[in-house]
Amino acid sequence: MGPLNKKQPKDVLKAQQKLKKKAFKDKKQMALLAKIEKDKLIAEGKLDNFLKKDLSTLSIAVPGSILKNAQSVELRTYLAGQIARAICMFQVDEIIIFDDESENKTPSWKQQQDDEEEYNSKNACLQFGRILQYLECPQYLRKSFFPMHKDLRNAGLLNPLDAPHHLRTANIFEFREGVVIESPQKEKSFVNVGFQNDIEIDKVLEPGVRCTVRVNENKKSGTVVSPLTPRRETGVYWGYSVRIATSLWDIFSGCPFKNGYDLSIGTSDKGESVDTFEKDYSHCLIVFGGLFGIESALGSDGAKMENDPKKLFNYYLNTLPNQGSRTIRTEEAVLVTLSALRTKLKPQNPPMEFVLHDQIALSIDT
C-alpha cells in the first residue's frame, strides 16, 4: 500500500464547504422565488380568498393509560416522545389525551405521588400531556414555561421534534414563537424569539405570555399575529395543541371547533378494512384505543355513550388488515394508521403549493 495522501482531508473539507455554500445559495434562491410567487398571488387576489377559509385540521385521541403499560419510569417518557414524533411527522394539529379508565378501573383521582402504586390513570394523562407540551415548545422557550417537574425528570431521553417552528438563531423565516419578557419600559413590550437580542413588538402584553411574531427584516421589531397565521399564509406546519379529556365522551363534547368534527374515525382490528376508504374532511378526528381497545373505554362513560363503538364514529376502521402480530401497541397503531390514511384523507382546504419553497428555507444554517 502506498503512502497516505496527507492533503486528502483538507481537500475533502474544501469540497464539503463548497457544496454547503452552493446548497445555501440554491435554497436562498428558492426562498426568494417563493416570495415572488406569494406576492403574485396577493396581487391577483387569490391569497386573500384562501386566508378567509377555515383551515382543515387533523386531530387524534390517545388514551393516557398506555403510559401505565410501560415497564419503567424512563420508558414512560420515551413512549410519550414516540407519539409526539409521530404526530409531528404527519402534521397533526390537535392531540387529545383521554382517560379510558376513569370509572371502571381507576376510581381514585389522588394527586400524583412518588410511590408507583399511586400512578393512576389521571396521573398518566397529566404526565403524557405535559411531555407533549414540552416537546412542542421551541427549545429556547422551555425554561420560561417548564420549571423543574418530576414528570419531566427524564426529558433528556426525548428525541427532538425538529418541527418547522423550532427555529435556530441563524434560520431564515418570517414567523417565530416568542415569550414576552420583563421590561422597565411599561409602554413597550419585548419578546425573546431566539435571537441574541430581544425584539420590540407592536402590542403591550403581560410578561410570560407566549406569542407568535411576524419578525421585520431588521430583526429588531415585529408584529404579534395569531398562531394560525404562519400556516394560513405559508402552509408551514406550526405545531400541535394538547387537550386533556376526562372520558371518551369528553373528546367530542370538548371539541374546540364550532361545528365539531365532521369526520370521526375509530380504529380497531374489529373494524372494516381501510383499503377501500377515502374521504374529504374539514375537521377530522382519529381515536385510538388502549391496551383493551376502544371497546373497553366505553364502560368508563356509563350511559353517555353507545354500547356499540361502531355507532360512535362515522367510520370504524382496521388500518392494518391481516396483521402478523396478535396485538399492535398504541404507539405503533398511530404510525400505522396515519401512514395508511395519508393519501386517503382529503383536506377541503389544503396548503398552497408555493409554500414548499418556504419549508426548504427553514433548514438553512448560515
Q: Torsions phi, psi of 294, nearest 5? A: -65, -30
What are the pLDDT digits (tens) for 258-278?
889 999 999 998 899 999 999
Beta bridge partners of residue 223, listed in sequence order = 214
Total-model pTM: 0.79
Segments making up each domain of the chain, as ranges: 14-52, 57-162+237-347, 175-229
What pLDDT band is residue 4 in, cutting at 50, 70 and 90? very low
Domains 57-162+237-347 and 175-229 share a fold: no
Amino acid at 65: S
What's the whole-number mean pLDDT along residues 137-156? 94
Strands (E), the chain: 57-63, 94-98, 175-181, 190-192, 199-201, 210-215, 221-225, 241-245, 263-273, 279-281, 283-287, 315-318, 345-347
Q: Is the pLDDT of residue 132 over 90?
A: yes
Regarding predicted confidence, which is higher, 24 or 50?
Answer: 24
User: Reading across the β-sheet that carries 94-98, which strands appear in turn?
Assistant: 241-245, 94-98, 57-63, 283-287, 263-273, 315-318
Q: How far apart are CA 266 and CA 74, in angstroms?
A: 30
Q: Are 176 and 215 in contact (CB under 8 A)?
A: yes
Nearest residue to 194 via CA among 210, 178, 207 = 178
Q: Is the confidence at residue 148, as pLDDT, over 80?
A: yes
Q: Are 338 and 2 in contact (CB under 8 A)?
A: no
| Per-residue model confidence (pLDDT) at position 71 | 86
What angle separates helix 73-89 from helix 330-341, to the nearest 10 degrees?
0
Burial (0-12, 13-18, 19+ Cβ within 10 Å), 222: buried
CATH class of 175-229: mainly beta
**Assigned fold of 57-162+237-347:** Alpha/beta knot (3.40.1280)
pLDDT tens digits for range 309-347? 888 899 999 999 999 998 899 999 999 999 999 999 999
CB 117 within 8 A of CB 264: no
The angle at the Cα of 249, spanning 306 to 313, to the nearest 5 degrees, equals: 55
